[in-house]
A and B are shown apart, each in its own frame.
Chain A
């Protein structure tokens, strides 16, 4: 006899069909409990992350270097970038929420596959956006700051006078690039850890479903 047929015989035995029977009321209360699905967690984490960044941005608003930016073009650019950043972040929440809503009420495996793909894409775009945003805002603010800061201008003149202008700019570029690389690595690590763990199973099952559909 086929192995699976042996299993089927056992599976369908009445004593193996004795599951605890839940009443109408038990089932009613059950649906009121919270869902803990993967897609829901992606949504919740993105929300927590948003709150975290908001707190950070308020925290650094009054520090010394931010005060130094007051009244300069860099402050305007930073404000514009912050508003733009928040608009895009809100858009991502909306997408995460939409994915969560859509994926949880899908009943066809094919549609489910598409939703999984969409969720992965959104997460990927979200990570790319966050990293690009950090790089662009850092470079933009620093460029304006260096251009307008009298202290910086003075030092650049001194360096030019002593013939070390190349060294001077190289140092600044290297330091900025170094700090950005460290920040990006930390963030990438964070995203890989949080979303990587959440998406791992989705990813594996997506590949399986895809193989089946070929």
Chain B
């Protein structure tokens, strides 16, 4: 990568870094693991950037690399913080904003999502990010129909986890 490319890449990465954080948020359980995965995705993005031809949006490309890294390349950290969950620390749901039922429901939902497998998590992330099925299919490299079917299956699975 030449200096110009490097500069462009870093500016884009700085601007869109939340995407990487969001992938980490869904795939890791604690602060250290979050940082590890963030670093791994950054390294992979850096390596892959020279091949980025701009035929997709930079953000879409970032989701792809980020998710592929989380799914395939990332060695899950052995360090596990058992006392405090990352979500509880970083994304504490403010009690005053919710009634108890909704707060409880959200906690259960987050924990249910964490129980999904890596591929299902990728679908959920893109759904939460308000991506339409065309964008989901592009990012995951599957057909739009397939993305829709899989998403419905994930919803059913979540329901089963929530109401065993």
Q: Which residues of A contact B (CB under 8 A)?
A: 2-4, 6-8, 10-12, 15-17, 19-24, 27-28, 30-31, 33-41, 103-112, 116, 201-202, 204-205, 208-209, 212-213
**Within 8 Å of chain A (Cβ to Cβ): is B39?**
yes
A2, A8, A24, A28, most chain B CB atoms within 10 A: A28
Bound complex: CA A2 to CA B162 (Å): 13
Say yes or no: B39 contacts A30, CB within 8 Å.
yes
Main secondary structure of the interface of A (DSSP, over half): helix
User: Which single member of B43, B61, B128, B146 contacts A11 (CB below 8 Å)?
Assistant: B128
Say yes or no: A35 contacts B44, CB within 8 Å.
yes
| Residues from chain B with Cβ under 8 Å of A31 in the complex | 42-43, 46
**Within 8 Å of chain A (Cβ to Cβ): is B94?**
yes
Say yes or no: A112 contacts B44, CB within 8 Å.
no
**Within 8 Å of chain A (Cβ to Cβ): is B134?**
no
Could you name 29 residue pairs across A and B whose Cβ atoms are closer than 8 Å?
A4-B155, A4-B158, A6-B102, A6-B105, A10-B93, A12-B128, A19-B17, A19-B18, A22-B14, A24-B14, A27-B10, A27-B42, A30-B38, A30-B39, A30-B42, A33-B39, A35-B40, A35-B73, A37-B72, A39-B72, A39-B73, A105-B51, A109-B67, A109-B142, A110-B141, A112-B68, A205-B118, A205-B119, A212-B150
User: Which single member of B94, B119, B159 contacts A209 (CB below 8 Å)?
Assistant: B119
Say yes or no: B94 contacts A15, CB within 8 Å.
yes
Q: A2-B155, A110-B141 are in contact. Are A23 and B75 (CB under 8 A)?
A: no
Chain B positions 79-101 with a Cβ under 8 Å from a chain A Cβ: 90-91, 93-94
Say yes or no: A8 contacts B130, CB within 8 Å.
yes
Say yes or no: A37 contacts B74, CB within 8 Å.
yes
**Within 8 Å of chain A (Cβ to Cβ): is B5?**
no
Q: A208 to nearest B CB, angstroms?
A: 4
Main secondary structure of the interface of B (DSSP, over half): helix
Bound complex: CA A169 to CA B47 (Å): 59
| Residues from chain B with Cβ under 8 Å of A41 in the complex | 75
Bound complex: CA A8 to CA B124 (Å): 9
| Residues from chain B with Cβ under 8 Å of A108 in the complex | 64, 141
| Residues from chain B with Cβ under 8 Å of A16 in the complex | 91
Bound complex: CA A157 to CA B44 (Å): 67
| Residues from chain B with Cβ under 8 Å of A30 in the complex | 38-39, 42-43
Say yes or no: A33 contacts B11, CB within 8 Å.
no
| Residues from chain B with Cβ under 8 Å of A39 in the complex | 72-73
| Residues from chain A with Cβ under 8 Å of B73 in the complex | 35, 37-40, 103-104
